[in-house]
Structure 1
């Protein structure tokens, strides 16, 4: 039984390339420059003194020509490499330097059929001084011819000419070719010249210094030009074991948490992608990388990196370097770091809620509002053995002065993800006894009450209860500092403060209303009056009950304001009535 070869429909292969492998026909120019570059590298192994220039020319009539002084091809190599999909002369002859190559000549040349029906190749091998120049002409119908070239090349190398179809002339337009050449080859170390018309001089489109090797000013200019923003900071990235090197630009806008914009990746200087998300952790949503991929292998399309264990290792190391870089940034440039935190603190808190490594960054560098001023959690834990936090902005506003007076520390955890972060800090070993949630009701219950024989404190109690009852509020007389705080509004306790967390997933019991004990009346808000306050103690000396009632109403509104509660129209009218009565009473005494 004899074996048979697969039959390949070249038009079908081109359709697969255009719809499933390559993202755009534009890759034809990248593949031609990659092949030329690889051929030059291969020849340099044989002759380091060989010329290394690559020329790209746009010809009249809708054709592009790419010429190199590389290793070249013999007639047999043309037959095996150019006519066999996936073949590469580099496999057998240059295995030891395989990592230096970008492409694969056979399949790369096929990409030209995305825009053309005819490809012409002239090549002269560098393996012998008298090698002839051979011509290979391939057609999109799957046929090719190999003949001695009518016009020999003066030196070893290869010349590829691609004649675009009429419908695809846009891809060989001089302006388009310049944009593509500069996009793909700007960082290649080999000189690539571009001539867009026969009458124009050639211009160099490669050998530009990558942003990770330039000055900070030039790197920032690259970021503005290529990524569209002015970086808040630039952090170095270097993973020598994988040959990965680059720079991380910190964005100047908040962005979306967990939604990373793509990174710009090169391979041996050739542009690969500007939407890569394989090399940085998800928490680094505010970072854009520009990196040389080094030894990381590319996919068949050369438009992304192959997923591998090496990718995971590089990603982990880059994540570590980013965290360390941010910490160094905080130390060396406090002003710049403050700008960074103004833009990205919310997002960093969001990521730290689910990432322990980011939690360390938050503990060390994110500022928090406290009853003693703004400070980081690391500073807070150094100065206090009893740290309390609240998830309510109204509680923080109302109680921060009271805790400050008692030399205790209250942290405002009302910001987005704030309470989650503080709970995680509490759960850390060594912090559990020092960090706890603040319970305003327990705090008030522990404040001392005035004695029963304190006439100044008890003289107005009965009337105050009547006034506040009409307002739907309970009275609570307590003694606390500072005395400048006459009243404190405390909202009705939620389930979390009662110690009975609601179970949202519990199934309702239809017999509960009939079989359970009568429900206790709902707990109302309370107004805590500070009997240390001169204004409060003076209420007992006011003989006019109407004036005293209005004053009590005024203390209620003051309590609301100090707690940060929103006042409605009813409260405005109440405050207006109180002021009118007190002003009139003061005037009648004169």
Structure 2
């Protein structure tokens, strides 16, 4: 069978329905698209006409109607057929491709279709500056067909009159329309007014006026502008983004609301050539910046066909890098010049900045000395912590206090709670950067740091090891602080689990199938001792044991054994009743035998 080349057919009715009704997420986008067409028409007239004029766009509302009028270039009859009535073809794109339309907003030639999503009839009155004595009236009901007739003479420009669908009455409400105009059009170059009032974009954004404003006035206007876009939190401080070399400008701000490392309240509005394109382009901000909002404008960023979001291309990634640099630089500027705002930022976003510092080396240098970590003695900055602990960082990942923690607490040495988000890695990086030792409690290295070798002779050590020997524990004679503690007992968690699973009590409390699986696991654990007993050779009582006769030493050790049980860490929960009973009996023996 011979293949034949066929021409693709287009279902115009279906295409118009998809483009007009499903392309945009909200009917209010029609306001933006039609105002944008009027704005581009004014820009075109300014470029191509030799006669001076004052560009303006006027939006009018009536019950059941929405009217957008401009005094821009207008359209000739040929241009009506070529551009207005041809889906996907726009004069702005043609002009831009010729190199003369970098400041034009439109591109895809689809914006006029939004009119059919909100209206059942569209009337388009236009007069071109190229033929100022000839006006035309374009009428379409569905967008699939249209009629054009010569109309009564009118001023150069265009009027689009929309007869709203019954389900779109809100588009004839002036208060609602004004809200959306202020959102979409606040950065446009040409004035856009509603019902003859003051232009919604009469006041340019602060960054366009920064050179003419005092620092105080700029700060005041910037905060006011930020509040207009920040829907949840009040801004603490603003950060300018002014990189003409990267075709991006605007501002970022720090939100005045408490955050955690898992919080993500980023919000970023992006304008392209003065028109709002993306209301929530948060991915242009660093992932760690969950407490940052912003508004930027850029000519590098490219909108998608619906112009409600941006293409994630190389330019997008590049601008994201520029914003990250601006944010870190701005935070540094706030820290140096506005200490009051910097303190507020630290108090609201300490944990977020703690985590952020781990993924951004520049930010780590900025906030490393200022953020705090939670310890057993309260919150400390790292410099204050090192000063308190004589240059050493003590870190624990245990949720419950162990013996090592108890020792340091007795010495009033703060221990960083490593179980708090990002605290452990942050302390490790800070300690490494400043050449400070870090002692992780619950590890062999940590134990070696706290429990130092004793100064006793080998035979004296052997005597003490024999005094406190038991089959289920290792006895180590060491010296540690504070000296008033005779023992420190560290339970082996894996051996403790094995002991419990092998007990008769476990058989009663745990299902046999689950217990069998657990015992298969613990069978792989070597026959480890349940605990390590550190005998403190610096303790006066322990040293006195070496001076006693064997009989008296035996009696004294019997009195000390219950105390040894009570000195175990949280994992080795003692039998309190038995320990106290044994202690009482041993003390009675000492009292009755006398000296």
TM-score bin, normalised by smaller chain: 0.7 to 0.9
- The 1-side partners of 2:330 and 2:524 are apart by 61
Measure how far apart 1:244 and its partner are. 1.1
* Residue matched to 1:198: none
Check the 8 A contact 1:262/1:275 in 2, yes or no. Answer: yes
- The 1-side partners of 2:524 and 2:68 are apart by 90
Q: Aligned pair in 2 of structure 1 residues 277, 474: CA closer, same or farther (>3 Å)?
A: same
- The 2-side partners of 1:582 and 1:292 are apart by 82
* Residue matched to 1:503: none
Measure how far apart 1:25 and its partner are. 1.6
Measure how far apart 1:28 and its partner are. 0.7
* Residue matched to 1:280: 285
Is 1:210 the counterpart of 2:205? The answer is: yes
- The 2-side partners of 1:526 and 1:449 are apart by 20
- The 1-side partners of 2:51 and 2:383 are apart by 59
Q: Give runs of aligned pairs for residues 354-503 of structure 1, distance below 5 A.
A: 360=365, 363=368, 365-368=370-373, 374-376=380-382, 391-392=397-398, 394=401, 397-398=405-406, 400=408, 413-421=418-426, 439-443=445-449, 446-448=452-454, 450-451=456-457, 465=469, 474-492=474-492
* Residue matched to 2:103: 100
Check the 8 A contact 2:105/2:273 in 1, yes or no. Answer: yes
- The 1-side partners of 2:99 and 2:136 are apart by 27
* Residue matched to 1:265: 270
Check the 8 A contact 1:54/1:69 in 2, yes or no. Answer: yes
- The 2-side partners of 1:190 and 1:492 are apart by 75
Q: Give runs of aligned pairs for residues 173-572 of structure 1, distance below 5 A.
A: 173-195=173-195, 202-210=197-205, 212=207, 215-227=218-230, 228-251=232-255, 252-254=257-259, 257=262, 259=264, 261-334=266-339, 336-351=341-356, 360=365, 363=368, 365-368=370-373, 374-376=380-382, 391-392=397-398, 394=401, 397-398=405-406, 400=408, 413-421=418-426, 439-443=445-449, 446-448=452-454, 450-451=456-457, 465=469, 474-492=474-492, 520-534=526-540, 553-554=562-563, 556-557=565-566, 559=567, 565=570, 570-571=575-576
Helix, strand or coil at the partner of 1:266: strand
Measure how far apart 1:22 and its partner are. 1.5
Check the 8 A contact 1:493/1:523 in 2, yes or no. Answer: no
Q: Aligned pair in 2 of structure 1 residues 192, 250: CA closer, same or farther (>3 Å)?
A: same
Q: Aligned pair in 2 of structure 1 residues 334, 176: CA closer, same or farther (>3 Å)?
A: closer
Check the 8 A contact 2:88/2:109 in 1, yes or no. Answer: yes
Measure how far apart 1:520 and its partner are. 4.6
Pairing partner for 2:18 from 3, 16, 26: 16
Measure how far apart 1:30 and its partner are. 0.7
- Which ranges of structure 2 fall in alignment gaps of 5 or more residues? 211-216, 496-518
Q: Aligned pair in 2 of structure 1 residues 25, 490: CA closer, same or farther (>3 Å)?
A: same
Question: Which has the higher mean CA deviation after the structures are superposed, 48-57 or 23-32?
Answer: 48-57
Q: Aligned pair in 2 of structure 1 residues 368, 168: CA closer, same or farther (>3 Å)?
A: closer
Helix, strand or coil at the partner of 1:314: helix
- The 1-side partners of 2:581 and 2:124 are apart by 92
Measure how far apart 1:38 and its partner are. 1.3
- The 2-side partners of 1:147 and 1:159 are apart by 15
Measure how far apart 1:378 and its partner are. 12
Q: Aligned pair in 2 of structure 1 residues 569, 234: CA closer, same or farther (>3 Å)?
A: farther
- The 2-side partners of 1:453 and 1:5 are apart by 102
Measure how far apart 1:285 and its partner are. 2.9
CA deviation string 1:325-344 (max 9, x = no partner): 33333344556445434444
CA deviation string 1:416-453 (max 9, x = no partner): 3344456667899x97x976866233335642153367
Pairing partner for 2:69 from 67, 70, 74: 67
- The 2-side partners of 1:47 and 1:105 are apart by 28
- The 2-side partners of 1:53 and 1:572 are apart by 90
Q: Aligned pair in 2 of structure 1 residues 107, 225: CA closer, same or farther (>3 Å)?
A: closer
Check the 8 A contact 2:407/2:482 in 1, yes or no. Answer: no
CA deviation string 1:246-267 (max 9, x = no partner): 2222232325648563411122
Helix, strand or coil at the partner of 1:523: coil
Measure how far apart 1:283 and its partner are. 3.0
* Residue matched to 1:58: 61
CA deviation string 1:549-588 (max 9, x = no partner): 566534653x45xx6x3796955995799799999x99xx
User: Alignment length, in residue pairs?
Assistant: 540
Question: Which has the higher mean CA deviation after the structures are superposed, 168-177 or 213-222?
Answer: 213-222
TM value normalised by structure 2: 0.74
Check the 8 A contact 1:485/1:533 in 2, yes or no. Answer: yes
Check the 8 A contact 1:398/1:488 in 2, yes or no. Answer: no
Measure how far apart 1:131 and its partner are. 3.1
Measure how far apart 1:402 and its partner are. 9.6
Q: Aligned pair in 2 of structure 1 residues 581, 85: CA closer, same or farther (>3 Å)?
A: farther
